[in-house]
Amino acid sequence: MLTYPEALDYLYSFVDYSHARTYTYSAQTFDLARMVQLLELLGNPHTRCPALHLAGTKGKGSVAAMCASVLHAAGYRTGFYMSPHLQDFCERMQINGEFIPQEAVAEIVDGMRPAVERVPGLTTFELTTALAFQYFACDPEGVDVAVIEVGLGGRLDATNVITPLVSAITSLSYDHTSLLGNTLAEIAGEKAGIVKPGVPVVSAPQKEEALEVLERIAAERGAPLTLTGRDWLFRPVAHSLEAQTFEIWSAEEQRQLNALRAQGRTLNWKPLKLEIPLLGRHQMENGAVAYAALMALRERGLPISPDAIREGLRSLRWPGRFEILSRRPYLVVDGAHNRDSAQKLAAALDEYFAGRRVTLIFGASSDKDVAGMFAELLPRVAHAIMTQAIHPRAGDPEELTKLARDAQANLGVEVVSPVAQAVERALQLSAPEDVVLACGSLFVVAEVRTAWAERAKMVEIRD
């Protein structure tokens, strides 16, 4: 049987588009027929348990993690498939929040090899997705429900072989435009590829151009569409550096309240209050989408109590998303990697760290809208450090420096690599009350987290 390192080597020996700088996103490149054939040879493991399927430009991982945490709190044995991983390949497939054991990866990949040899053209992501389906299907205790996050796009994504109980689409914005389209309408069309005939779909609030596409496709496929912000209303209540609280209620409840108020009736009603440990107003929106998706699952036959929702959201662990690693100075990491997410990150900085000096550690993949991210972030930054993660798609920090100076000529910018040294340099430049912010890609976030953990370990040894 394969060892775990041999299993990973085998998976990565196939075409891995996540490491490619350029490729064509088309039915020829991403052929669902390959995935269907492979899964048939494996006994169609993806059909063994009901699922929630999530796509979107930003927030789909956070929403998926929220839903998985709540379903586990509700007593369901819950599978969770996500990508990319932050620091460990085994993060990608979980049951009840526990990563797949390395031994299981080796065993399942070894067992898949005869089927894989019969299907030409398979990719690393297709094999990884099949591995997740096999892991959930073969679980001795039986997975009750799986939360499946799309890898890229939706229509041609390897996960799009499932027919879920509910589909969900999070916030849509510009990312992977060379692959998914240059307009929000084109991007929405790709993401809405996960909408299945008759299957309810939940959406985050969307810009009109994207919403029109989602509404049209949902109507064509007879898929009831629930829109947060319209069908589920929400508002912030409080926030701290530990958590934020928001309230959520249905549009139908609001109509009834309005009618009672018009009659002069006294009301004792209060909306449901939920707490999430993820910071930033965009995460409140993600929480509302997760709640709406869970309510849709409940209507499809999965009982989920308000207490389970409260506990599942409150206890969520989802690192790398406006995560505060240290407080003197503040060291914050965030996976923002397009202009829209950078704008949300800048808003979160203003909300939580107004008036504090910010040193930026930045590295991004070469195919990202770096100029757009800089337009949102650099006005909030006192000094910037460009760095480069250990990844084939990582952009040249010298090129990033040129873009930063084009965006803000008077900004102090320097290049420091590797990422661990960039962290040390940023800390040297920062007073205890300052903020060090690392963002641009999850690869940079992962390396900052590793560097900080190693640094903390060394301090502990010295003490």
Contact (Cβ atoms closer than 8 angstroms) between residue 76 and residue 302: yes
Question: Given the DSSP bridges, would you call strands 93-95 and 78-81 parallel, antiparallel or unpaired?
Answer: antiparallel
Write the single-letter amino acid at 451.
A
| CATH for 4-234+272-314 (3.40.1190.10, 3.30.1300.10, 3.30.420.40, 3.20.20.70) | 3.40.1190.10
What is the secondary structure of 103-168 as a DSSP string? HHHHHHHHHHHHHHTTSTT-BHHHHHHHHHHHHHHT-TT--SEEEEE-SSSSTT-TTTT---SEEE
Reduce the DSSP state of residue 282 to 3 states and report it: helix
Helices (DSSP H) in 202-338: which residue ranges? 208-220, 251-262, 281-299, 306-314
pLDDT at 21: 46
In the block, tokens 């959930």 appear at 136
- Residue intervals of the chain classified under CATH 3.90.190.20 are 323-456
| CATH numeric code, 323-456 | 3.90.190.20
pLDDT in tens, 268-316: 888 999 999 999 999 999 999 999 999 999 999 999 999 999 999 999 9
Contacts of residue 264, Cβ cutoff 8 Å, sequence gap at least 6: none
pLDDT at 181: 67
Query: In sequence order, what E strands does 222-271 have?
Result: 225-227, 232-239, 244-250
- Residue intervals of the chain classified under CATH 3.40.1190.10 are 4-234+272-314
pLDDT at 30: 64
Q: What does the alpha-carbon distance between residue 442 and residue 85 come to, in Å, rounded to a whole number?
A: 9
Reduce the DSSP state of residue 339 to 3 states and report it: helix
Q: What is the pLDDT along the chain (463 residues), one digit of tens a residue?
A: 899 999 999 999 997 765 544 444 455 556 799 999 999 999 999 999 999 999 999 999 999 999 999 999 999 999 999 999 999 999 999 999 999 999 999 999 999 999 999 999 999 999 999 999 999 999 999 999 999 999 988 999 999 999 999 999 999 987 655 567 679 999 999 999 999 999 999 999 999 999 999 999 999 999 999 999 999 999 999 999 999 999 999 999 999 888 878 887 777 888 999 999 999 999 999 999 999 999 999 999 999 999 999 999 999 999 999 999 999 999 999 998 889 899 999 999 999 999 999 999 999 988 889 999 999 999 999 999 999 998 887 889 999 999 999 998 889 999 999 999 999 999 999 999 999 999 999 999 999 999 999 987 776 565 5
pLDDT in tens, 352-407: 999 999 999 999 988 889 999 999 999 999 999 999 998 887 889 999 999 999 99
State pTM to two decimals: 0.92
Helices (DSSP H) in 321-418: which residue ranges? 339-352, 370-377, 397-407
What distance, in Å, lies between the first and last C-alpha atoms of the chain? 44
pLDDT at 391: 83
Q: What does the alpha-carbon distance between residue 206 and residue 185 come to, in Å, rounded to a whole number?
A: 11
pLDDT at 48: 95
Give CA separation, 372 vs 172, 358, 375, 376, 406, in Å.
Answer: 16, 19, 5, 7, 12
Sheet with 93-95, edge to edge strand ranges: 98-99, 93-95, 78-81, 145-149, 51-55, 166-169, 201-203, 225-227
In this structure, the dihedral spanned by the alpha carbons of residues 324, 450, 125 and 293, taken in order and rounded to 10 degrees, is -20
Sheet with 232-239, edge to edge strand ranges: 232-239, 244-250, 272-276
